[in-house]
Structure 1
Amino acid sequence: MHAFACDIGSGLRLAVAAMMQPVSDQAGLARRLGPFDAVVIGLGSMIGAGVFAAFAPAAAAAGGGLLVGLGIAAVVAYANATSSAQLAAQYPTSGGTYVYGRERLGPWWGFVAGWGFVVGKTASCAAMALTFAAYTVPPAWQRPVAVVAVLVLAAVNCRGITRTARLTRILVAVVLAALAVVVAAALTGARPGPAAAVATTPGVYGVLQSAGLLFFAFAGYARIATLGEEVRDPRRTIPRAVVLALAGAVAVYAVVAVTLLTVLGPARLAASRAPLADAAAAAGASWAVPVAAVGASAAALGALLSLVAGVGRTTLAMARGDDLPGWLAAVHPRHRVPHRAEIALAVVVAVLVLTTDLRGVIGFSSFGVLLYYLVANIAAATQHAGHRRFPRWLQALGAPGCVVLVVTLPPGSVLAGLVVAAVGVIYRAVRVRARS
């Protein structure tokens, strides 16, 4: 614990000094992640706060039909994951679909994907920080504690990707243990009536909307591809890690979904602000309610940690491509991390945390992520046989799946996403015109 505290202290000192590093230092990142760490980072990205929060709005949209929505989300996620994995094997560098879109389709495609990811996930960073604080401190302290969480995790990331992976292992273990305890307590103590687990008949639109909301929970597998420049033997490791992490996350989400519907039923689940805690309480296992809070706190921190890493790498790639200011492309000479990109992100997220409450951005974030994967599927469809690892029909399934899930998101989320995309297009058009 003392050593870890020292790491955080050193990271904070690094964060203060990092902005003084010369802009010319733009070395590549270091390949330090093995297969196990890649899978754990993927799990930490997916088994985040979504498992504690996403089921309530999904139940409000589809009732018990959220199980069907979960299946649809998982299928679309698998199609998208295979596209990302295949592209990452060919282009094992930082940036994910921003890079793949540029290489396969052209600069504008890559920019739209990268812009949607960076803006949407920056909002998600603020949401995860506030979610963590909501589970740990009284309301008056939540914003300051959320800012501290952002700064500390940014400091950990600034110490190098191996420190990020080490902390992710701890957080994933805590989340999985908490989920196991709460699910076991809820199922063994539950005494549901005959109608408790019976769903109302959902409409097709409601089921698809629940799939779009639940897709938010699976989006973390992109983090593995985004970190492609830091994975050892990426052509072999990334495809395996993506599939394994997604399979593990789907299994966890399925168990939790069945548990919540069995214990609470669709109506109570839809109205719940803390479904797992409510399920434990409803089963008479009030002792498990604090365990659910601990798990949710760790999940929010894990999601925030992986988001900072992923957005930082995508920002690095966009700066390298001259779609964001070039000073963000600096890589720290010792720790080999995009320190300026991560520090800039931490500052922006801290401001958002202090001025807004973005805990309701699931739909908006889903819009940006679905747009991101739409570009990934189209890019993967152009790959030649020598680079293909999965059948082309998966892209033919994934791309339309993304479009369907986008149009069934809540109208406010779609409108916000379109506005953000339009702002990005205008920004790049002005930037390109200025350069020319």
Structure 2
Amino acid sequence: MATPSPELTASHDTGDAPGKHARRFGLPVATALVMGNIIGGGIFLLPASVAPFGTISLVAFGVLTLGAIALALVFGRLAEQHPRTGGPYVYAREAFGDFAGFLTAWSYWITTWVSNAALAVAAVGYLDVLLPLHGSVAATITAALVIQWLPALANLAGTRYVGAVQLVSTVLKFAPLLLVAVGGLFLFDPSNLGPFQAGDAGPFGAISASAAILLFSYLGVESAAVSAGEVRDPRRNVGRATILGTLGAAFVYLLGTLAVFGTVAHDKLIGSTAPFSDAVNAMFGGTWGGAAVACAALVSMTGALNGWTLLSAQTPYAAAKDGLFPAVFARKRRGVPTAGVLVTAVLASLLTVYNYTAGPEGVFETLVLVTTFTATVPYLLATAAQIYFLASGRSAGVNRPRLIRDAVLASLAAGFSMWLVAGSGYAAVYQGVLFLFAGVLVHACISARRNRNSGRTGAAA
């Protein structure tokens, strides 16, 4: 293992000696973390969700993929310069100060725990295929909470177990996904594709509408950067893991969606609630595909919950070490910030219970879009930080060709982030801004307390 840099050692020092439960991630696990967090449960629903727009939705997929790769390249470059736990938070604070850092950490934290609630609710939908739960609200809520707390317990057991769960779940989820993706190409029937553009919207409107649905599917490209302090040789491995994980996820997304489009008739796909099940049934006959895909979806979402739970604790941990979050978030046990894991699990659990008690007209679907909006705040601030570092000459060791390349990538990533904000929709932006304003009040209280304590320390001296 490479010797940690001084910056990494300082940022990773928690006052605890490394134990047998705390272990740094290598390149394979870091790549699995990125892929596992990007590919959650969305891949099992996306083909049917975008089918009403026609196959032009594949163009939206392509645009989103290019934007995600641009973000991945920017995060990889930033991680080389600042290989510390916290990812976008570290970059924004380094460039723009404490308030920007806090806003990044706060917004990203909201994204993680609301995403956890969304994944748990989606997982229950697939569990219902295997163990019918729809007759009992209490059983449904219990199942959602169990699905949510199992990854939290794995995190509390230590980073050693987080990496193991992530690697296993990523391998298991790819087997059925690749089966559909590759097998579907052999049985591809162009007549199933339907119209290139369906509906009354023009081409640009159809692409934008499709993208608004697909945005949530690419959250997670920053996973390795956020956990840089837990990665061995982060200057080398974080960037590679980010690129490899994003490309792997994009490959599965595009190939899987294309395979489903070509094996399930367009009219049937529009009304499908389990498009991958329908694709398997069309490929092999019978009705066993629903159960098989349900198992794959549960594995996929459990792995995504495992990774997102880790990320939900890492950003508050980094902010708390700098005095921008409550100090309890800076405490680690077995390499894991336990307070961050517990608070995130509790908040996500409360939101999950609310979803099931609010009825069919609840606001949970809007909150899922809120995660898309809140995720773009860290993305935009991180890309702005990269532009600032390049323009101010603070990116050490950058020759002119690489400076130009990095500037172009950062600009593309910033534009992509702004497009994500627009695609979130007015309701999501409205509620997301309320979440951010609540964070401003929290920052005011924390800053006032920190300044008061600093004044007392100065007076005593």
TM more than 0.5: yes
Task: Look up the match of 1:316.
Answer: 317
Offset of residue 123 of structure 1: 0.8
Task: Look up the match of 1:95.
Answer: 86
Which has the higher mean CA deviation after the structures are superposed, 238-247 or 87-96? 87-96
Cα 1:373–1:304, aligned 2, differ >3 Å: closer, same or farther? same
> 1:355 & 1:117 partners in 2: Cα distance?
21
> 1:216 & 1:387 partners in 2: Cα distance?
35
> 1:51 & 1:121 partners in 2: Cα distance?
18
Task: Look up the match of 2:191.
Answer: 193
Which has the higher mean CA deviation after the structures are superposed, 275-284 or 113-122? 275-284
> 2:119 & 2:192 partners in 1: Cα distance?
37
Q: How does 1:149-164 map to 2 (within 5 A)?
A: 149-164=147-162
Contact 2:56 2:196 in 1 (8 A): no
Offset of residue 301 of structure 1: 0.6
Q: How does 1:173-188 map to 2 (within 5 A)?
A: 173-184=171-182, 186-187=184-185
> 1:128 & 1:269 partners in 2: Cα distance?
22
| Match of residue 65, structure 2, among 69, 74, 88 | 74
| Matching of residue 135 in structure 1 with residue 136 in structure 2 | no
With the length of structure 2 as denominator, give the TM-score of the two structures: 0.82
Cα 1:187–1:286, aligned 2, differ >3 Å: closer, same or farther? farther
Cα 1:181–1:197, aligned 2, differ >3 Å: closer, same or farther? farther
Q: How does 1:276-355 map to 2 (within 5 A)?
A: 276-283=276-283, 284-332=285-333, 335-355=334-354
Offset of residue 360 of structure 1: 6.0
Task: Look up the match of 1:396.
Answer: 411
Cα 1:194–1:329, aligned 2, differ >3 Å: closer, same or farther? closer
Structure whose alpha-carbon radius of gyration is higher: 2
Secondary structure at the aligned position of 1:193 is classed as helix
Task: Look up the match of 1:38.
Answer: 30
Offset of residue 94 of structure 1: 1.6
Offset of residue 432 of structure 1: 2.6
Offset of residue 189 of structure 1: 5.4
Offset of residue 377 of structure 1: 0.6
Contact 1:132 1:296 in 2 (8 A): yes
Task: Look up the match of 1:406.
Answer: 421
Contact 2:223 2:242 in 1 (8 A): no
Contact 1:63 1:267 in 2 (8 A): no
- Cα shift readout 1:351-391 (whole Å, capped 9, x = no counterpart): 22222254664422211112221111111112234265762
Matched residues, percent identical? 27
With the length of structure 1 as denominator, give the TM-score of the two structures: 0.86
Which has the higher mean CA deviation after the structures are superposed, 230-239 or 389-398? 389-398
| Matching of residue 386 in structure 1 with residue 393 in structure 2 | no
Task: Look up the match of 1:234.
Answer: 234
Contact 2:263 2:282 in 1 (8 A): yes
Offset of residue 234 of structure 1: 0.6
Q: How does 1:22-37 map to 2 (within 5 A)?
A: 27=16, 32-37=24-29
Cα 1:416–1:275, aligned 2, differ >3 Å: closer, same or farther? farther
Which has the higher mean CA deviation after the structures are superposed, 36-45 or 103-112? 103-112
Task: Look up the match of 2:360.
Answer: none
Cα 1:59–1:51, aligned 2, differ >3 Å: closer, same or farther? same
| Match of residue 426, structure 1, among 423, 441, 453 | 441
Contact 1:182 1:291 in 2 (8 A): no
Contact 1:158 1:342 in 2 (8 A): yes
Contact 2:126 2:297 in 1 (8 A): yes
Offset of residue 340 of structure 1: 1.9
> 2:352 & 2:437 partners in 1: Cα distance?
24
| Match of residue 63, structure 1, among 54, 63, 71 | 54
Cα 1:205–1:95, aligned 2, differ >3 Å: closer, same or farther? same
Letter in 2 for 1:336: G
Secondary structure at the aligned position of 2:332 is classed as coil
Cα 1:267–1:408, aligned 2, differ >3 Å: closer, same or farther? farther
Offset of residue 205 of structure 1: 2.8
> 1:160 & 1:239 partners in 2: Cα distance?
24
Q: How does 1:201-212 map to 2 (within 5 A)?
A: 202-212=202-212
The answer for unaligned runs of 5 or more in structure 2 is 1-12, 357-363, 452-461
Cα 1:58–1:198, aligned 2, differ >3 Å: closer, same or farther? closer
Offset of residue 199 of structure 1: 3.7
Offset of residue 90 of structure 1: 1.9
> 1:148 & 1:195 partners in 2: Cα distance?
39
| Matching of residue 106 in structure 1 with residue 112 in structure 2 | no
Contact 1:118 1:315 in 2 (8 A): yes
> 2:253 & 2:441 partners in 1: Cα distance?
39
- Cα shift readout 1:63-108 (whole Å, capped 9, x = no counterpart): 3221111111111111111121122222222211111100112222
> 1:157 & 1:269 partners in 2: Cα distance?
38
> 1:350 & 1:412 partners in 2: Cα distance?
23
Offset of residue 293 of structure 1: 0.9
| Match of residue 39, structure 2, among 33, 47, 50 | 47
Contact 2:43 2:253 in 1 (8 A): yes
Task: Look up the match of 1:8.
Answer: none
Offset of residue 244 of structure 1: 0.8
